[in-house]
């Protein structure tokens, strides 16, 4: 499987976990130890509460995952290859301004780590 496909599958899984509000699994699988899942949940809730975006996180169509920004870091420091991934969350079936950022560390074909980095309005 290509690194792009591994990244897309991981982002799909992250979005599924946001949709199902399975924050424990999201934290366990994708959060670095120094981060707190409550920061991400708070960002999401503030976006929904204070904006004109009332609703729930929804799963976008598969083709939307082909449009995510995958940026390779030119001088990786932790892995063989590193990437920053940017993907807009969907709320009630519509693309929103709430942006998910993830870090990807590629160590080998069988060892890739994806971490939640930020959730913010872009």
Residue whose structure tokens are 């074909």: 109
pLDDT band at residue 1 under the 50/70/90 scheme: confident
pLDDT tens column, 13-33: 999 999 999 999 999 999 998
Region of poorest pLDDT, from 35-39, 51-55, 64-68: 51-55
Return d(Cα 97, Cα 39) in angstroms, integer.
18
Please tell me the total number of residues recorded for the chain in this structure. Answer: 122
State the pTM of this model. 0.93
pLDDT band at residue 111 under the 50/70/90 scheme: very high
Statement: residue 58 has pLDDT above 80: yes
């Amino acid at each position: 499987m290509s690194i792009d496909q591994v990244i897309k599958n991981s982002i799909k899984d992250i979005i599924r976990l946001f949709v199902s509000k399975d924050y424990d699994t999201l934290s366990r699988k994708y959060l670095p130890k120094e981060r707190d899942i409550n920061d991400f949940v708070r960002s999401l809730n503030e976006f929904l509460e204070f904006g004109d975006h009332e609703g729930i996180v929804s799963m976008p169509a598969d083709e939307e995952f082909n449009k995510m920004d995958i940026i390779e870091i030119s001088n990786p420091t932790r892995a063989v290859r590193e990437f920053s991934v940017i993907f807009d969350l969907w709320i009630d079936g519509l693309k929103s301004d709430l942006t998910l950022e993830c870090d990807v560390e590629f160590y080998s074909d069988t060892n890739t780590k994806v971490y939640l980095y930020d959730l913010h309005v872009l």
